[in-house]
Amino acid sequence: MFRPAGIDQPREQAELDALAFVKTEAGFAQVTTLDRNGYPVTRTMTAFLSDDWSVALVQRRSHERLHQWQTNRRTQVSWLGSPSPKASNDRPHVFDLGLPPPRFVSVRGTAEFMSDQWTVACYQKHLEQQRRDGHTKAPLRTSEQVLTDLVGVLIGPVKVRLEGFGSGAESFTFAPQR
């Protein structure tokens, strides 16, 4: 992971913990696009977070969100999960819910459609990893089927927000260096 000079240790550790959380615990992401009237539309789907905070999505061609990205490329991808085992909420800012904060990773960015070659490579990379991890229920597609059935989209990160990875209610918001 690229580290510009001056990144503080708590944020650096929060970034590493957040990346590990998304890759090993969080599972599905919530992907938010904007409809033709400018209202947010959120759906749960598979999304792959990279160490540079970009997000790869490979999905069926039938999804309305593809049309939404053609109109407005702004999007947000979020993962939400149970609190960290080391989480605390000893000094709530406004209200005391009696609970530690959940872990939350959010990448706000701009959608870019992948080329055919890039889509096939992305599909094959993530499918191979899932198969290695024992996840074998999804259908296998040939390169031709990928090009016919699927579309690849990369979310280039503009802003990242991490909650539940610091001390107490500490959160981190930053613009990734690409």
What's the token pair of residue 44? 């749960």
Contacts of 104 (CB under 8 A, 6+ apart): 78, 79, 80, 81, 161, 162, 163, 164
* Residue 7: per-residue pLDDT: 58
Range with the largest mean pLDDT of 98-107, 147-156, 163-172: 147-156
Confidence at 5, pLDDT banded by 50, 70, 90: low
* Residue 129: per-residue pLDDT: 93
* Residue 55: per-residue pLDDT: 98
* Residue 4: per-residue pLDDT: 53
User: What is the gyration radius of the CA atoms in the chain, in angstroms?
Assistant: 18
Note the CATH number of domain 9-174: 2.30.110.10
pLDDT at residue 58 is higher than 90 = yes
Beta bridge partners, 49, equal 55
Confidence at 100, pLDDT banded by 50, 70, 90: confident
**In the chain, domain spans:** 9-174
